[in-house]
Amino acid sequence: MFSFVLVFKSWVFCPKLDKTSIDSLEKAWNDRLKVHVPDDIIARSQEFGRSIATAIYNWSTTDNFNISGAGYTIPVCASCWVLIPPAPSPVGPFLKNTRPFLASSLTATAPPLPFPYSEDPSSEFYKAAKEVYDIGKALTPEQKLIPAWWADLGGPGVGYAGGAHILSIVT
C-alpha cells in the first residue's frame, strides 16, 4: 500500500484531487493498522514500501518516457495527420521510443495495417474511412455523450490530460 501511494503521488499526471484522496486513504489505513499492529512493524513496513516505490520510480526514469512534443516535426504526406489550429500540438509523439511494458518491442505486438492508405473511393481504405465518417454523422445523443468522458472538461488539475488517458487505463 505504501509503495503504491508513493509511486502514484509522484506520477506526473496525478491531479491534486487524486493526491488528496490518496492521502486520505493512506491515513485511514494507517489509523486502522495502528489498532492491531505495533508501531515498529508499521515503520518497517513503510520503509520497505518506500524502498520498493523508490526502486520502481528510479526504474521508470530510464524508460525514455517523454510526453512532450518539444522538438517534434509533424511529417507531411497525403496520409499524415494535419494540425488544424486551435488544436494543440501532438501529445507524446516520442512514446514509440519508450521501453515497452510487456513486449520486447512495440512492433512485436502491433498488428499490420489492414490496407494501405488510398484516396480512391473504390479502395478498402477509403470505404473504411467513409464508414466511420457516415457513422459519425448519424450518432445518437447518447453516443455523442460517451466520448465527453474523455474530454477533460473539469478544468486544470481535474481528470487526466488527454495523452494520459491511456496510462490511466493501464494503471
Predicted confidence (pLDDT) at residue 139 exceeds the cutoff of 90:
yes
Task: Check residue 62 and give its pLDDT.
Answer: 85
Domain ranges for the chain, please list them: 2-60, 65-99, 113-170
Return d(Cα 129, Cα 20) in angstroms, integer. Answer: 43
Q: Summarize the confidence of residues 29-34 as an average pLDDT.
A: 91
Q: Which is higher by pLDDT, 67 or 58?
A: 58
Q: Which of 67, 61, 63 is nearest to 100 (CA)?
A: 63
Measured CA to CA in angstroms, residue 33 lies from 2, 19, 21, 110 at distances of 12, 21, 18, 45
Task: Check residue 21 and give its pLDDT.
Answer: 81
Is 64 within 8 Å of 97 (Cβ atoms)?
A: yes
DSSP letter for each residue of 65-114: -----TT-----STTS----TTSPPPS-TTGGGSPPSSSSSGGGTPPPPS
Return d(Cα 10, Cα 23) in angstroms, integer. Answer: 12
Return d(Cα 107, Cα 86) in angstroms, integer. Answer: 32
Predicted confidence (pLDDT) at residue 52 exceeds the cutoff of 80:
yes
- Which residue in this structure is represented by grid cell 455523442? 144
> 92-130 pLDDT, tens per residue?
788 778 877 666 666 666 778 789 999 999 999 999 999
Task: Check residue 163 and give its pLDDT.
Answer: 59
